[in-house]
Amino acid sequence: MIVQLRRVPLLAAGVASGAALITAASVVVVAIFVVICRREPALFALTMAAGALAWCAGNVLWLAGFAIYRVVFWWMAFLVLTIAGERLELNRVLRPTPLVRAAFVAAAALVGAGAVLSLRVESVGVRILGGGLLATATWLARNDVARRTVRQRGLTRFMAVALLGGYVWLAIGGVLGIALAPAAPGVRYDAMLHAVFLGFVLSMVFAHAPVIFPAILGLPLRYRPAFYAHVALLHASLSLRLTGDLVDDLARWRVWGGLLNAACLALFVLNTASATIASTDRRRAAALGSRSA
């Protein structure tokens, strides 16, 4: 179903609409992955390239006037395939067997096929997508290196805990897609989106932030056990929110869950900023000490 294209805010005054700019950005990402895949046509690169194509296709459909609730499954495929491809690349040290790799390809194919079919046969497409999400979550939970690193300590264990928790939410999103086929806006549709976009994606962000942020910002960020607080609050608040979505008598829990989701993000920012400041101060103190010595 095609709806009239609504006006969207401009990201660059007088130049182009937000949809056009985001679509152009996705085209650039696809072009980058074309170069990457030519140089290294590995499965992980091809998977991430498929995710970039899904993002680009979804953006083109959005720009063409398709309703966002129809396009969102393409964006979901983009994030899931990108993250799954990244985890596959990091897990190469485990040397997955051909059968394990074939299972990964099958799961990724279901995700892509579900996104495509959601435009034609909505409920069928969402169910296939849900099957792909569940299959991907199962593959990651069984084959990710996090299953081993969770037995370690410190930052390594924290990252593994956050990753494994995210895979649980991805599986929940898949089960909701299979069981409810929420192809149109509503509380069931919200539950599936919350499980994937908040539970899975934010867990991935929380897991990788202590490594990614220092690389991007050039600032030190030492791990703290307090990081578990925003991960725990994410899972608790999202559990409340999904319960409110799925149980009519507990609909008010949805509001509290949403508020606590926001509090979780604020706590994440606070924990990350305070750890960065403390690490920076410690580095400065060490530098001054070495100079005075």
Q: Phi first, then psi: what are they for 88, rounded to 5°?
A: -60, -40
Residue carrying the six token digits 């867990």: 203
pLDDT at 116: 96
Tokens for 157, please give them: 């264990």
Q: Could you give the C-alpha distances from 97 to 42, 44, 91, 103, 219, in angstroms and in order?
A: 15, 14, 12, 10, 39
Tokens for 63, please give them: 């720009």
pLDDT at 91: 82
pLDDT at 2: 37
The pLDDT tens digits along the chain (293 residues) read: 333 344 445 444 433 477 888 999 999 999 999 999 999 899 999 999 999 999 999 999 998 888 899 999 999 999 999 999 999 998 877 788 999 999 999 999 999 999 999 998 999 999 999 999 999 999 999 999 998 899 999 999 999 999 999 999 999 999 999 999 998 899 999 999 999 999 999 999 999 999 888 888 787 788 899 999 999 999 999 999 999 999 989 999 999 999 999 999 999 999 999 988 887 767 665 556 555 55
Determine the distance from the C-alpha atom of residue 284 to the mean position of all C-alpha atoms in its chain, rounded to a whole number: 35
Q: E-strand spans in 121-249?
A: none
Kindly report whether the global pTM for this prediction surpasses the value 0.75.
yes
pLDDT at 286: 57
Domains and CATH numbers, the chain: 17-283 (1.20.210.10)
Tokens for 259, please give them: 């508020």
pLDDT at 79: 97
